[in-house]
């Protein structure tokens, strides 16, 4: 497991902020990265903040990543809110854009081979007394199968098996079959009306 916390003012620019519609010499347009944008500066800042925490070798397998993104309190924040220590941030940028850019940078620095390895992602952004970025990366454990196959569970860390619904007794099965037969007989033995008799 990797855990670290960086005391900083997290950037508000995302990886999308560095993308621009640019023109080629022939006049055709394309989406590219603008080298002098705020997004590019934010990426460079995050790279320099994350580099000291890079693991000696990239992590392998499925990973669970938790990122806590704490902005400093707004100047306009009432004192009654500051008493709580932190509050959820409901303003831009969006969590998904921040997370995407952050994971891309971690991938480039060698935290893992590919950000597709992230099987579970928890990202929260807050206003806080203690601005900064906290990160936890851990190996994702095995998923408990839903079919109750005990052979698949014998190496599961919890050692528990899912509960199974009880199987009906032979008496209950006989009663159910008898009810089904009676129902079928009632449908097939309907007396014919007088107008249908010939």
Specify the pTM: 0.64
Q: How far is C-alpha 117 from the chain's CA centre?
A: 12
**pLDDT in the model for residue 177:** 54
**pLDDT in the model for residue 34:** 57
184 vs 50, residue with greater confidence: 50
For residue 62, count CB atoms less than 10 angstroms from its CB and return exposed for 0-12, middle for 13-18, buried for 19 or more.
middle
CB 9 within 8 A of CB 133: no
* Exposure b/e, 141-174, CB count within 10 A at least 16 = b: eeeeeeeeeeeebeeeeeeeeeeeeeeeeeeeee
- Is the pLDDT reported for residue 121 higher than 50? yes
**pLDDT in the model for residue 166:** 44
Distance CA 38, CA 30 (A): 19
Averaged pLDDT, 122-147: 88
On average, the pLDDT of the chain sits at 78
- Is the pLDDT reported for residue 70 higher than 60? yes
Distance CA 94, CA 83 (A): 25
Ranked by mean pLDDT, the top range of 16-20, 94-98, 151-155 is: 94-98
CB 38 within 8 A of CB 13: yes
Q: Packing angle between helix 95-109 and helix 38-50, nearest 10 degrees?
A: 50
CB 92 within 8 A of CB 12: yes
**pLDDT in the model for residue 158:** 42
| CATH T-level topology, domain 2-18+31-139 | 60s Ribosomal Protein L30; Chain: A; (3.30.1330)
- Is the pLDDT reported for residue 155 higher than 80? no
**pLDDT in the model for residue 1:** 92
CA angle 154, 120, 14 (to 5 degrees): 165
**pLDDT in the model for residue 23:** 73
């Amino acid at each position: 497991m990797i855990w670290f916390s960086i005391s900083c003012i997290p950037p508000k620019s995302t990886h999308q902020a560095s993308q621009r519609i640019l023109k080629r010499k022939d006049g055709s347009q394309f989406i590219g990265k603008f080298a002098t944008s705020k997004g590019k500066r934010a990426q460079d800042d995050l790279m320099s903040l994350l580099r000291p925490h890079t693991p000696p070798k990239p992590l392998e397998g499925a990973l669970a990543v938790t990122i806590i993104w704490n902005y400093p309190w707004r100047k306009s924040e009432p004192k009654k809110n500051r008493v709580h220590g932190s509050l959820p941030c409901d303003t831009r940028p969006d969590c998904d854009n921040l997370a995407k850019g952050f994971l891309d940078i971690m991938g480039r620095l060698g935290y893992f081979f590919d950000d597709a390895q992230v099987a579970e992602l928890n990202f929260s952004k807050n206003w806080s007394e203690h601005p900064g970025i906290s990160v936890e990366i851990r190996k994702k454990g095995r998923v408990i199968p839903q079919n109750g196959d005990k052979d698949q569970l014998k190496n599961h860390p919890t050692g528990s098996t899912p509960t199974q619904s009880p199987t009906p007794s032979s008496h209950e099965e006989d009663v159910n079959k008898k009810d089904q037969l009676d129902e079928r007989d009632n449908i097939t033995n309907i007396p014919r009306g007088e107008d249908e008799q010939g």
